[in-house]
Amino acid sequence: MKLARDTWLVFQRQLLLMIRTPVWIAVGIIQPVFYLLLFAPLLKKVLAPDGASSYADAYQVYVPGLLAVLCIFGGLFTGFSLLGELKAGIIERSRVTPVSRLALLLGRALREMVALLVQAVLITLIALPFGLRVSPLNLLLAYLLLGLLALMTSAISYGIALMVPTDAAMAPVVNTIAQPIALLSGVLLPLTLAPDWLQQLARWNPFYWAVEGMRALFSGHAGDSAVWQGLLVVVVMTALAVYWSARLFSTRVR
Amino acid sequence: MPWQPIPVREFRLIETTGLRKSYRKKTTRRSGEDPTVDAVRGIDLSVAAGEIYGFLGPNGAGKTTTLRMLATLIRPDGGRARIAGADLFTDPAGVRRRIGYVAQGGGTTDNVSAREELVLQARMYGAGKPRAVRAAEDALKAFELGEFGDRPCVTYSGGQRRRVDIALGVIHQPRVLFLDEPTVGLDPASRAHVWAEVRRLRTEGMTVVVTTHYLDEADALCDRVAIVDHGRVVAEGTPEALKREISGDVVLVGLDAGEGAAERAARVLRPQPYLHRLEPDGDGGLRLYLDDGAAAIPQLLRALDASGLTPGTVQLQRPSLDDVFLARTGRSLRQS
């Protein structure tokens, strides 16, 4: 109960801060729109091996990938805001209060999750006129997957922010992690194009499973085993990431 | 809140024995030296309810580390501590409810106002929304923040921000308030304002622990002072008592710089029976510690005159806390 209340407190404050920084919101909307308008049209031909014969098909494959890539980069980079808060003493000020340590993390990660879900909804809406068709129930399930993914990546990012020796180390560390994850989940180009060893490698990437699950949902195959597999992998990974990051939050001091 | 008698059991609001903390240095594998740095090497404290207690010492003496340990931000390596009845090791959550802590850099968010920060802080301490709003309103009045309290924190001056920091630290009316270097970087007027706030909090029944490396701050603000150096308390007492330990008075003798005048004068003066201690003081200066400065000045002038030395200036001073620090550590606080 206290955890829920404290998380809500932190979440509210974080949301307020985001609303007061409109430039972030603008960037958060413009970037995915560019991906959708400037990159997706290339895909009809490229995605032919995945069975795409029309723009609608291409978007069914591409949009889930784009959403996942937003989560990977958006989530993993959210730790930068924590670096600022650490430096300003805001985290320390919270840590001397009896507020739940886990809430300090969850409130922030949930803010990130909400921001990413808003982006996801926007992208889905923009993709509709291009022929994207997805049933509301499948879409909700895909958003659930996506929300967990956002929670996971932001928890990991906060953990990294607490661990890096200097602020300057954050960007290279995050980039080094995000890049292979994004490439190995087949978000930009499908991994069906990849040689066998690359596909085998991708199976070790939890994001690959998440993307596969979302693609199954977007193509209307909710019963596909990729869906429950994706959900399972993401639930477990999210729990692990939050646990790891929460431990750092309660023990690390800077 | 008027002054209330405190039960005898809790009269000692902070008690520590052997509190210590060491860190591992980062790059020592190659040099082969001991990789641990003892930041705090066993600190015993006993702070009474209603005191303003100061840690005085140079940067790196272990003051902040000690304060952060008492505020549950760092786990001590060893020792024992009880704060307002709660054990630091077994009940850190209990300690957190009873204390307020204001870090040196504060901790306000640029884009929100002092009022919003105060409400959030009260709610983090468990207050419901209506109570938190009232507490924020009261704090804005008590700390005279009303004028700017609804503007974003980024627009505040250093002194304004410091007052907001302190108001945040006491929003839940803690028994003990820890202030880390509360007046660093403030102009004299803002400093005086912060001191006044600290004294006001004390009259409301709060016990305040401050760290400082300013001699005048320790002297003017604190009821008792622990002088800290290299992670240990080297002297403790009221500023008056500490200065009294430095027997009597200080006489500053200024001689011509260079030509060894100061060294020759030191040789002449050292054997004088009324002198307790002699330290060089800057270029051509000597710092003499003696019982009765006024009586000794004619004698030491005669002794110098007999050796053909004529001081340019002679000053009689009361000993400062810096003299105490010098006597205990062999260094001046101003230099270190």
Greater pLDDT, A159 or B6: A159
Summarised one tens digit per residue, pLDDT across range B87-146 is 999 999 999 999 999 999 889 999 999 999 999 999 999 999 999 999 999 999 999 999
Whether pLDDT at B258 is above 80: no
Q: What is the pLDDT of residue B32?
A: 60
> Taking CB atoms and an 8 Å limit, are A93 and B103 in contact across chains?
yes
B27 touches chain A (CB under 8 A): no
User: pLDDT-derived band of residue A254, with 50, 70 and 90 as boundaries?
Assistant: very low
* Residue whose tokens read 């992208």: A123
Q: What is the pLDDT of residue B239?
A: 93
| Segment B261-281 mean pLDDT | 87
Q: What is the pLDDT of residue A38?
A: 83
* Residue whose tokens read 């990977």: A72
Interface test with A, best of B120, B161, B166 (most A CBs within 10 A): B120
Residues of A with CB under 8 A from a CB of B: 6, 9, 13, 16-17, 20-21, 85, 88-99, 253
DSSP state of B152: B
How large a percentage of chain B has pLDDT more than 90?
A: 61
Q: How far is CA B184 from CA A110, A196, B187, B198, B233, in A?
A: 37, 63, 9, 15, 22
Tokens at A2, concatenated: 């206290």
Tokens at B294, concatenated: 């006024």
Q: Are B107 and B171 within 8 A, CB to CB?
A: no
Helices (H), A77-135: 79-87, 90-95, 101-127
Interface test with A, best of B21, B77, B116, B124 (most A CBs within 10 A): B124
Chain A residues closer than 8 Å to B128 by CB: none
CA distance A191 to A210: 14
- Three-state DSSP class for residue B157: coil
* Residue whose tokens read 């709610």: B123
> What separation, in Å, do the N-terminal and C-terminal C-alpha atoms of chain A show?
28
Q: Give the type of residue at B172.
A: H
Chain A residues closer than 8 Å to B126 by CB: 98
Please give the residue of chain A at the shortest CA–CA distance from B72.
Answer: A96
Q: Is the dihedral of CA B187, B188, B189, B195 positive or negative?
A: positive
Q: What is the pLDDT of residue B27?
A: 55
Task: Give me the residues paired with residue B275 across strands.
Answer: B290
Tokens at B135, concatenated: 């507490």
Phi, psi of B5 (to 5 degrees): -65, 145
For chain B positions 237-276, those within 8 Å of chain A (CB to CB) are: none
Of B68, B111, B124, the CB nearest to A99: B124
CA distance B91 to B303: 64
What's the angle, vertex CA A47, arms to CA A46 and CA A51, rounded to 5? Answer: 140
- Three-state DSSP class for residue A114: helix
CA distance B313 to B134: 60
Q: Which of B171, B175, B166, B172 is nearest to B14 (CA)?
A: B175
* Residue B219 neighbours by CB under 8 Å, 6+ apart: B239, B320, B321
Q: Give the type of residue at B16.
A: T
pTM for the full model? 0.85
Q: Give the type of residue at B98.
A: R
Please give the residue of chain B at the shortest CA–CA distance from A11.
Answer: B120
Q: What is the pLDDT of residue A209?
A: 92
Mean pLDDT across chain B: 89
Tally of CB atoms within 10 A around A157: 29
Query: Which ipTM did the prediction report?
Result: 0.87
Chain A residues closer than 8 Å to B103 by CB: 89, 92-93
CA distance B319 to A44: 86
Of B107, B111, B120, the CB nearest to A9: B120
Q: Which of A126, A148, A154, A138 is nearest to A214 (CA)?
A: A138
Q: What is the pLDDT of residue B2?
A: 45
- Three-state DSSP class for residue B212: strand
Summarised one tens digit per residue, pLDDT across range B190-215 is 999 999 999 999 999 999 999 999 98
Tokens at B54, concatenated: 């100061």
* Structural domains of chain B sorted by starting position, each given as residue range(s) with its CATH number in brackets: 8-239 (3.40.50.300), 247-318 (3.30.70.920)
Q: What is the pLDDT of residue B257?
A: 66
Chain B residues closer than 8 Å to A166 by CB: none
> Taking CB atoms and an 8 Å limit, are A98 and B112 in contact across chains?
no
Greater pLDDT, B290 or A146: A146
Q: What is the pLDDT of residue A49?
A: 67
Q: What is the pLDDT of residue B336?
A: 57
Q: Which of A159, A151, A156, A69 is nearest to A112 (CA)?
A: A151
Summarised one tens digit per residue, pLDDT across range A200-238 is 898 889 999 999 999 999 988 888 899 999 999 999 999
CA distance B101 to B158: 18
Mean pLDDT across chain A: 89
Using CB atoms within 10 Å of the CB of residue A209, give its burial: 0 to 12 exposed, 13 to 18 middle, 19+ buried.
Answer: buried
Q: How far is A250 from chain B (nearest CA, A)?
A: 10
